[in-house]
Chain A
Amino acid sequence: MSQPDQEPTVPESPENVPETPLGPMCRHLRSKGMYVYTDGVDMGFDHDYDNTIYWCLKTMKSFGPDDDMVEKQSCCSTERACYQPV
């Protein structure tokens, strides 16, 4: 945690990354929202921020069997070694 007397080092110029469509997610990807919003109803949240926290059902951790992070983007990629389709 940055302390109040120390200037936080905020990275400059974040990429203006457009939202890109993702492939089908790995069947082991999990998040709280998957269990709560089971009917897919839009709950009115702002899509400009996504603070979803994911875990992998194979490891029950935020890192997958390949020791890489569990994230929506990478867990929808068939190129990931541990990816398994639904």
Chain B
Amino acid sequence: MSNTPIIEVQHITKRFKGLTAVKDVSFSIREGAITGMIGPNGAGKSTTFNMICGYYPPTEGKIFFRGQDITDKKAHEYTKMKIARTFQIMKPLKNLSVLENVVASCYFGHAAAKSEREARERAMEILEFTGLFDKRHILSKDMGTPDQKRLEMARALATKPELLFLDENMAGLNPAETEAAIELIRQINRSGVTIFLIEHIMQAVVSLCEEVIVLHHGEKIAEGTPEQVMNDPYVMEVYLGTKGGAAHA
């Protein structure tokens, strides 16, 4: 793996009118790794995430992707740069079948399918990989939360990303479903995709991430391996302390 980070975030700040949601946050994401971001509700995780994904630009600061300044790139330009994302609140194309959902994604991004046949074939492969193959003819609105979360990932993967952003992909899953989702994320990572995820479920963060960034009140308060972060006294106080002892190992 190369030493230059795949994503480098430099001093980003986001202000919504008077409210400062994220204040002077800097960190980097190592290529090939799984990096996680945690923090209590309202810590600014999603805001940070949305800035990196081009959903809105930071008020101050810069974001680099492989050394290239992408701060002002629009959301729809990301898949061309081999970056894909999922949404915390699932956004399935409700009135389309699962297959059509993924076919739509196959048509766009840096490796956009040239023909309907190619798009359908690739969609089938991805449905197989994400375990949705048997449900391909169901309307996506008729599926439950775990499958919709999987569909979010399948749609992102269909654009053939090298960097995947997952926004709370395991929220609302039971332990068995969480385990399956963790396994899927590992598989995606093993296939060569760098992953950056926001997660509330500590079990997932601890078992998946090599590096963890902790946000609190819009500021970065710690970063390091999961063990380092968990043993950080300040983190224990503001995050794990408030969530109760059951949340961490």
**A, B co-complexed:** no
